[in-house]
Amino acid sequence: FVFYILCELDRYGSHIVGYFSKEKESPDGNNVACILTLPPYQRKGYGKLLIAFSYELSKQEQVTGSPEKPLSDLGKLSYRSYWSWVLLEILRDFRGTLSIKDLSNMTSITQNDIISTLQSLNLVKYWKGQHVICVTPKLIEEHLKSAEYKKPSLTVDITALRWTAPPKKAHKKHKNSTSAH
């Protein structure tokens, strides 16, 4: 596991606000194993900042990810709110055709998380065997005006991000494995 710890700095020093951990190599494609904001720091935007940071790291790794399930009730609310804001911002500014796969590649959010979020916003329909994004500028703006989907108070400055993904382990072949040519 790798741990990312967020601290608040004041004249008395550094104070742990929260953290998230992730497996170095998640077989399930999770970009967060555990996430926590300490009680005195909750409701201040730190949880969404940690979520946003985890997705910025996923973008750097060029992978999609999802938090390890099950999520707590507060975790579900925080993730759904973050995903909604990210997707609504893209859909508001985008002109042209956009697929769920495109959104996933742009955000590092898994296609399943995108579909469930768009369904909760009533922005996706199931038509001829596939999910189709159905939006109007008015509908997007109505959602963005809602307090539930407002821009997070704290955001990640990606221009200041200096990070290198941990090297992937080389998977060894089993002695008894053979390859067909």
Catalytic residue numbers, as ranges: 68
- List, as one string, the DSSP characters of 120-136: HTT-EEEETTEEEE---
Q: CA 58, CA 32: separation in Å to the nearest integer?
A: 10
Burial of 78 (0-12, 13-18, 19+ CB in 10 A): buried
Angle at 38 between CA 33 and CA 44, to 5 degrees: 105
Q: At what angle do helices 111-120 and 100-107 cross, to 10 degrees?
A: 110
